[in-house]
Amino acid sequence: MDTHIPLAFDAGSHSIRFGFCNDRTPSSDIPAVFGDMLNGKESVEHTNRIGENSKYKVDTNTLCVPREGMELINIMDKGLIQDWDAFENLMEYAYSSCLFTDPKFHSIIFTESPMNTDKNREKLMELLFEKFNVPAMMLCKNSAAAAFSCGVQTGIVVDSGATHTTAVPVYEGYVMTGAIVSSPMGGDFILNKCEQYLSENNIDVIPHYLIANKKPVNAREIPIWSRKNTVPNVTNSWHNYMCKSVVEDFKHTVLEVADRDAILSNLPTCHYEFPNGYNQEFGSERFIIPEFLFNTNLSYDLTSLSRIVHLCAEMCHSKIINELYANIIVTGGNSLIKGFPRRLHSEIAGNFRNISRVKLTAPIDSSIRRFGAWIGGALLATTAKLNHLWYSSNDYHENGTNEINHNYHVNKFRLNIHR
């Protein structure tokens, strides 16, 4: 094993987090989308892929620049890598422009979605050993890593990300994949509800790049702003992404989850100003939107988040159910909506009364909650007891990709490690 610090990568549908394993949180968190300048019209030499003239544009600052014809394309789909060429490009960018190091010096741990496939895993391995010449790699399910970051080895991890929320049972570090329950209600679902609300109330979402200047106006007054007239001919996908980032800011600032029996009209309002200057106080609507996550009367055919936890526990052996309910870990960006963990706790405890004890852990520090899987992965990679789980470049060249699915996966081992 080399003496350089290992790297940890945690790829999600909303963003990709990476950094050195001796850091507290990932040093970089970049959007899981890329700007495609050619939109498949022309292939580009590998050497010319990350410069100013490259086909691919990555990272927030670069993506925010309006460019004629640049299409925005997702790298991930429901937590799985879908565009391998773009992902390879993003890794090149990560090493050369964020981590400033050579991949051949650092072992690397990758967290993966509990739904990852053998084929995807093998592809990642080929990329890391063949293209980046990493000395060794390790894989770990992101839920097991998130549980580990909270010092828990047995429990249910509720990961509310962008594309979905999953309840994943973990037993002694082992993810019980057969009992995972997933709901499509995550950050994107709430974002759609916000867009719907704003459109129904005739509140225009004007992205920053279109605004030349604006004047202060009183709450609910028609905004006074002028449009930039030097904007290049941008694509719809890029324009929509910019609108989405405005709604996302609204969502992060304004929304809050109310208590189970709260009277929404009595709760405090929140003032918010949009980029074009339109502003108002938001009252009960800011509680009603996230209510969909918990209230089955509103979400029709969708299963509430407390119910996915219950369904997940029900599928596990009756002997461990109490232990699972006593160790619920909340992670993922969407759980940062204010009041989310408290409400989830009261829903589980209130709806399923036969449970002896419900204990829910949600790190208060928002970066620790959002980056739980990365933090757990980084801890695992630096745990000497797990040294035997590194799959080395020599192993790969002797045994190929097959071994990783059978012998070297962290999830195949019980992690009897107490922090």
Q: Could you list the residues that contact ligand ATP (CB under 6 A)?
A: 12-15, 79, 161-164, 186-188, 248, 251-252, 332-334, 336-337, 370
308 close to 266: Cβ distance less than 8 angstroms: no
Nearer of residues 54 and 334 to ligand ATP, judged by Cβ: 334
Q: Which is nearer to ligand ATP, 33 or 321 (CB)?
A: 33
**Which residue's structure tokens are 């049972």?**
169
Q: Please state, in angstroms and rounded to a whole number, the distance separating the CA atoms of residues 303 and 279.
A: 34
Short-list 245, 253, 204, 194, CA closest to 63: 245
Q: What is the smallest separation between the CB atom of 380 and Mg ion, expressed in angstroms?
A: 17
Whole-number minimum distance, CB 345 to ligand ATP, in Å?
Answer: 18
Whole-angstrom Cα Rg for the chain: 23
**Helices H, strands E: what count in the chain?**
14, 21
Q: Which residue is nearest to Mg ion (CB)?
A: 161
Could you tell me the smallest distance in angstroms from the CB atom of residue 159 to Mg ion?
A: 6
- The helix or strand, by DSSP H or E, that contains position 33, with its residue range, turns out to be strand 33-36
Nearest approach, Cβ of residue 33 and ligand ATP (Å): 11
3-state SS, residue 306: helix
Residue 112 or 256 having the CB closest to Mg ion: 112
Distance of alpha carbon 413 from alpha carbon 407, whole angstroms: 9
User: 117-176: which residues touch Mg ion (CB under 5 A)?
Assistant: 161
Nearer to ligand ATP, 159 or 408 (CB): 159
Say how far apart CA 248 and CA 192 lie, in whole Å. Answer: 10
359 makes contact, choosing from Mg ion, ligand ATP, none, with CB < 5 to 8 Å by partner type, with none
Segment near Mg ion (CB under 5 A); pick from 5-13, 213-221, 292-300, 362-370 = 5-13
- Site for Mg ion, residues 11 to 70, rule: CB under 5 A: 12
In angstroms, what is the minimal distance from the CB of 331 to Mg ion?
A: 8
Amino acid at 122: E
CB–CB of 272/279 below 8 Å?
yes
From the list ligand ATP, Mg ion, none, partner contacted by residue 119 (C-beta under 5 to 8 A by kind) = none
Choose the one of Mg ion, ligand ATP, none that binds residue 248, judging by a C-beta under 5 to 8 angstroms depending on kind: ligand ATP
* Shortest CB 123 distance to ligand ATP, Å: 18
In terms of Cβ atoms closer than 10 Å to its own Cβ (0-12, 13-18, 19+), residue 300 is exposed
Binding of Mg ion at residue 207 (CB under 5 A)?
A: no
CA distance 106 to 381: 11
Binding partner selected for residue 162 from ligand ATP, Mg ion, none, CB under the kind-specific 5 to 8 Å limit: ligand ATP
3-state secondary structure of 246: helix
Q: Which residues contact Mg ion by CB under 5 A?
A: 12, 161
